[in-house]
Chain A
Amino acid sequence: MKSLSEIETVSKRSTKAAGFSWGIAEEVGKNSRMLETFGLSGIKNLNYYFHIRNNKKFEKLNLVSNENKKTKLEFCPIIAGLSFLDQVRSLESFKEISFENIGYPILFLPFISRASEVIGKKLELKIDNRIFLLNYNNSIYSNSLNNGIVSIGNIIKITFQENKDSFTEKEWNDLYKLSENTFVEETDSLKQAGAGAGLTDND
């Protein structure tokens, strides 16, 4: 089994060898490590993407807008992902960002996961019928167990998830009430001595 350190190093070097700058290669190295940690096929997709790239051109999306329409060429997942990561703070106001035709979109995913951590919000990434919920770069929830190569994402949507509770106030209160059973009812004497400040802490 390859270690994550080996995965990162080989991904970084191969990205540089494929013509990207060292700074971008460093990013891709971290991304491959992350994908493989989460059980997604980073090495497989990167390998195929670099092979295809020898004979096929990809569009570099340097400036991301809310709607990124397809051009004659598919978008490079690395440049599109990096642009999204770098520009995420200004993109946040759009609530939803769409892309058409990103090649090898699994390579795009880790940038979005990292962007989720940068802005402190969950991001939902839809790649055609695959859905990924990216949780602050700590975990990924997905309906897609396909662990193979995804050569293109035709319609890609990123939705910024508002930071809100996943439960109702009533559910919270029920649970809170139960948690109160770990507290001790304070007598006057406990009120005086328990916290050490007496009945008043004002000077």
Chain B
Amino acid sequence: MNVELRDPNIIMKLSRLGSFHQSKLSFLRSFLKEFKDWEYKKDLFNLDEFGYGEAIYSFKKNNRVYSLICFANKLNENERSDRVIATKWDAAFTLHDGVPTKKDIERLKNEVPKQEIGRLSYKELTLSRANKSVRVFNHVVESLSKGIQPDINLLSKVGYLYRTTAVYGSGKFGLADRFRIKNRKEIYGPFRLEMMLVYLVRQFTFDQVNHVAKNKNPQKAVNLDPEICKNLGIGNSTGLGMAPFIVNHPTLLNNWVYAREMALKNIREIKNIKAAHYDLFKSCLKKSIKNITSWNTESEYQQKKIKSLLKDLNIFIGFLEKEFDFSKKYAFNEIYLWLEKNSEVECIEYVVSMMMEPYDDIIAPLINKMSSEEEKYFNIPTDRTVSQLRVILEDRYSKILNIDFSKKENNQNFWFISKNKEEPRLADRFEENGSDLEQPLAIARDIKKLYETLSLYKNSSTIDKFLAKNSDLRHVVRRAFIIEKFPYSEIQDNTIGKSIMPIDMLRLKLSFFGALKFDPRSDKWLRICMFQGAPLPEQLKNYDDHWVYNSLN
């Protein structure tokens, strides 16, 4: 049986992309898998009694070493902010390529805590900073110093000791360009070194909290129970900075979504499902419910989605238990078609993620195809004709071409880069100044304009002649020829409309990272948790691949 790939015009709608969940394809899970055989070490732990100072953690294999260098500093209460405009943080981190020398550490001590205004070198790969969840951190210190374990309920509600507020890589602030390291086999998957940084930061937070508790009461203090550690992750506050990334990297976006779609297609095409596989699917599904019931958010938007997800999942599990027979042919295809009929997209995408759990053989080869050689597709094939371009637009952007941009609500917002922090922002075109400096992120509007302009040209006219007169449309001509080859490369929605939910763009990216418990704090930023339930570094050699569903939370 041949199952068609799902239609990009449906899958690439923001409401659908904003319903994606972590899966076996997610970068933090593929990172753990790749690095499980590496030698983990705590190379330096030089903190004072209050937990301030330096620490270094490393992963090593053969001659390759990656070292996380941590700088923990004192921060006054009034200086602590998760917003990107902050200038100080509880801790700052960089992932160094190799073993840092004393000179490197001295250099980095001056630069890393400054973050965006510091300068890194080609020897550093990623950069980040994090703030304590003061309430949780202090509670854990207090408890441990008295010789008791902290309140699990409080820890469950928050899920972490520290929140990172940005993780930078790929040449930002002088960091190494990706081309320097892209041929290393261990980092073939996207964002692998960003994931390594976050994972090692998580371990630093446990070591720091133990250290501070021990210094507070050397006689009585105990270490945080490793089982509790395992059930804590690292938080992350994410704002609009992440949103333009998925528009600016169309082939990469395609490769992420294509991997997911291929996985689903291959699974739906399995004729006979082995008992061990459907047992594992059902087991992961049932265990995962506690990830939903412990998903706390004050966002009404998200609460509604969680409620609908839980309701649909309970109905689905009932259907599986009472009505469904896994011995029938193409059982996962049957399940998928049932979901399409009976569930909301949040639940459909949740179960799609879950279907991947038993199938390492399908997923592993797809993970290696999730990076992209973007440069290869940059040049515009200018010998193609106007009629060919028009066909691409009609075929690939059919929904977009129906949007009426003369209506105010379809043209309401504009994307810009703020001068003070060089970060992307979204504003109302009719209320705020600055739309003359709009970023090229209104793809739907510009594609529509391209389509209208093409109608003024002869079908046989070539693109080089068209571009000579229409340089303002060059960026979307390029995109159209990219989407011809990469059907999932474009968001099929209006990114400047009145009703846009930018957090859907963030959630798409974060789901591929492997984030859990999306907690929108507005329509423009959210908090998440990463690595909650993940094995600790010492447990990596032999860990349960389905740890995501075995969390105590």
Point out residues on A near B: beta carbons under 8 Å.
Answer: 1-6, 13, 20-24, 26-27, 30, 62-63, 82-83, 85-87, 89-90, 114, 117-118
Contacts and interface: CB of A to CB of B under 8 A. Distances in A.
A21 B464 contact: no
B475 A22 contact: yes
A23 B475 contact: yes
A46 B122 CA distance: 24
Given A22-B440, A86-B464, A3 B122 contact: yes
B314 interface: no
Given A5-B170, A5-B172, A20 B471 contact: yes
A86 B467 contact: yes
A30 B477 contact: no
B171 A26 contact: no
Interface in B366-412: 375, 378-380, 382-383
B177 A1 contact: no
Nearest to B478: A23
Given A82-B471, A86-B463, 12 more contacts: A1-B174, A3-B174, A5-B171, A5-B172, A23-B471, A23-B472, A23-B474, A27-B474, A86-B380, A114-B379, A117-B379, A118-B379
A142 to B, nearest CB: 22
Most interface-central of A4, A24, A27, A86 (chain B CB within 10 A): A86
6 contacts: A1-B174, A22-B475, A23-B471, A30-B378, A62-B469, A90-B383
A63 B468 contact: yes
Contacts of A5: 170-172, 177-178
A24 B440 CA distance: 12
Contacts of B122: 1, 3
A2 B177 CA distance: 10
Given A1-B121, A30-B378, A24 B172 contact: no
A44 B474 CA distance: 26
B380 A4 contact: no
B2 to A, nearest CB: 32
A13 B173 CA distance: 16
Contacts of A85: 379, 382
Interface string B471-487: 11111111000000000
B496 interface: no
A5 B182 CA distance: 14
Contacts of B382: 85-87, 89
Given A22-B440, A30-B378, A3 B175 contact: yes
A83 B462 CA distance: 13
A194 B119 CA distance: 60
Given A87-B382, A114-B379, A4 B464 contact: no
B478 to A, nearest CB: 7
Contacts of B476: 23
B447 to A, nearest CB: 13
A4 B474 CA distance: 23
Contacts of A26: 378, 474-475, 478
A20 B467 CA distance: 13
Query: Is the interface on chain B under 10, 10 to 19, 20 to 34, or 35 or more residues?
Result: 20 to 34
A21 B172 contact: no
A21 B477 CA distance: 13
A87 B464 CA distance: 6
Given A24-B474, A86-B464, A3 B177 contact: yes
A6 B173 CA distance: 7
Nearest to B468: A62
7 tightest Cβ-Cβ pairs between the two chains A and B: A23-B474, A5-B171, A3-B171, A23-B475, A22-B440, A86-B464, A62-B468
Contacts of B379: 85, 114, 117-118
Contacts of A20: 471
Contacts of A2: 174
Contacts of B234: none
Contacts of A82: 471
Given A6-B174, A22-B440, A114-B379, A90 B464 contact: yes
B56 interface: no
Contacts of A117: 379
Most interface-central of A2, A3, A26, A83 (chain B CB within 10 A): A3
Contacts of A62: 468-469
A90 B464 CA distance: 10
A59 to B, nearest CB: 14
B473 to A, nearest CB: 7
A30 B178 CA distance: 15
Interface in B444-495: 463-464, 467-469, 471-478
A1 B120 CA distance: 9
Contacts of A90: 383, 464
A120 B152 CA distance: 65
A4 B440 contact: no
Contacts of A23: 440, 471-478
B176 interface: yes
Contacts of A118: 379
A62 B383 CA distance: 16
Contacts of B417: 13
Contacts of B380: 86
Nearest to B172: A5
Contacts of B474: 21-24, 26-27
Contacts of A30: 375, 378
Nearest to A37: B179
Contacts of B464: 83, 86-87, 90
Contact of A6 (B172, B378, B477): B172
Interface in B113-146: 121-122
B156 to A, nearest CB: 40
Nearest to B472: A21
Contacts of A27: 474
A62 B476 CA distance: 19
A63 B383 CA distance: 14
Interface string B526-540: 000000000000000
Contacts of A83: 464, 468
A201 B473 CA distance: 57
A21 B174 contact: no
B191 to A, nearest CB: 15
B42 to A, nearest CB: 30
A23 B463 CA distance: 14
A90 B383 CA distance: 9
A118 B475 CA distance: 19
